């Protein structure tokens, strides 16, 4: 692994992890700026991926005379479109999270109101539940699914 690859692996979308200073207020201005930068970089990365897909589909679109070749291409395009749809939903969630930062509502659990925690937010910047509440929600989801 090259030095550049090692550096990129330690960052998320080119943004260094946040380093708290002793006694720093949770979700103070420096922390909010960091997560705004992180979410913005993530969104740009997703948008570039969408653009690459559109370009790829335009370049690769062909009318194959062989039905098997045509079916393979259609399946590949369908898979890419499903991935882009997931990314589109994630972009909406990123936008919602950026709005929460602006409204000073970011970083607090929507269920119990406690701090979500810096490390959890670094791992999943769009998290809106603390670890414990997320675990409970997942367990409920599993038991409801078993009906």
Binding residues for Zn(2+): 109, 112, 130, 133
What is the C-alpha to C-alpha distance for residues 116 and 127, in angstroms, rounded to an integer? 8
Give the helix ranges, DSSP H, for the chain.
Answer: 3-10, 29-60, 67-102, 118-123, 131-146
Binding residues: 109, 112, 130, 133
Q: Name the helix (H) or strand (E) containing 126.
A: none
Q: Which of 47, 37, 30 is nearest to 12 (CA)?
A: 37
What's the distance, Cα to Cα, between the start and end of the chain in Å? 48
120 to each of 66, 107, 132, 135, how far by Cα in Å? 50, 10, 11, 13
């Amino acid at each position: 692994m090259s030095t550049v690859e090692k550096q990129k692996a330690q960052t998320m979308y080119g943004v260094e992890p946040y380093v708290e200073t002793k006694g720093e207020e949770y979700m103070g201005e420096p922390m909010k700026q960091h997560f705004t930068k992180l979410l913005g970089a993530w969104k740009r990365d997703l948008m570039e991926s969408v653009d690459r897909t559109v370009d790829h589909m335009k370049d690769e679109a062909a009318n194959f005379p062989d039905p098997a070749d045509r079916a393979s291409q259609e399946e590949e395009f369908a898979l890419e479109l499903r991935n882009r749809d997931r990314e589109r939903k994630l972009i909406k969630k990123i936008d919602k999270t950026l709005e929460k930062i602006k409204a000073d509502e970011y970083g607090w659990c929507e269920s119990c109101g406690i701090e979500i925690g810096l490390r959890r937010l670094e791992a999943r910047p769009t998290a809106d539940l603390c670890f414990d509440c997320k675990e409970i929600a997942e367990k409920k989801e599993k038991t409801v699914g078993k009906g």
